[in-house]
Amino acid sequence: MATEVRPAEPSEVDVLARLWRQGWLDAHQAIVPETLVALRTLESFTDRMAAALPHVRTLGPVGAPLGFHFIKADELNQFYLAGEARGTGVAQALMADAEARLREAGVATPWLSCAIGNARAARFYEKSGWTMARTETVPTETSTGMFTLEVWRYEKALA
């Protein structure tokens, strides 16, 4: 599997949005309120991906990305892999890139949120050296405004 991380291409908005939505459903559909699941339409992911695209980093062939991340200030805001890429080792390359970008931005202690009950993601974050700092309520973007969600907050000291 390709592990070179690169900026996402404008032509990849739709495929990245589909990857994001499927990954989100795989991880969250059974553990978050149904109200939030109903708001997570493909259109909502496409709109959010288009807005985030200048900050999105991906890996895999152009047009067939295997995963992506993007950062907002000191937060690793999104981190997703395509189903076929899970368990292949590419997640480590993507995480290393995210952490490098955070370091370059001067962030000493970045954070990320993980839906309570998303055990697979939590195990990966912990294996990657992130520590669960606390449980907190955060606003999450939806097409109808912000939706508050209780999450596990992970942090990592970057040297």
Q: Are 156 and 129 in contact (CB under 8 A)?
A: yes
**pLDDT per residue as tens digits for the range 39-94:** 999 999 999 999 999 999 999 999 999 999 999 999 999 999 998 998 888 999 99
Measured CA to CA, the distance from residue 76 to residue 92 in angstroms comes to 14
Confidence band of 1 (pLDDT split at 50, 70, 90): low
Beta-sheet strand order (sheet of 131-142)? 5-7, 56-59, 67-72, 75-81, 111-115, 145-155, 131-142
Confidence band of 114 (pLDDT split at 50, 70, 90): very high
pTM (2 decimals)? 0.93
Pairing of strands 75-81, 5-7: unpaired
Averaged pLDDT for residues 16-37: 95
Give me the CATH number covering residue 108: 3.40.630.30
User: Residue 152's pLDDT is what?
Assistant: 98
Structural domain harbouring 118: 5-155
2 pLDDT higher than 70: no
Angle at which helices 42-52 and 13-28 pack, to 10 degrees? 120
**Residues across the chain:** 159
Averaged pLDDT for residues 27-31: 94
Total structural domains within the chain: 1
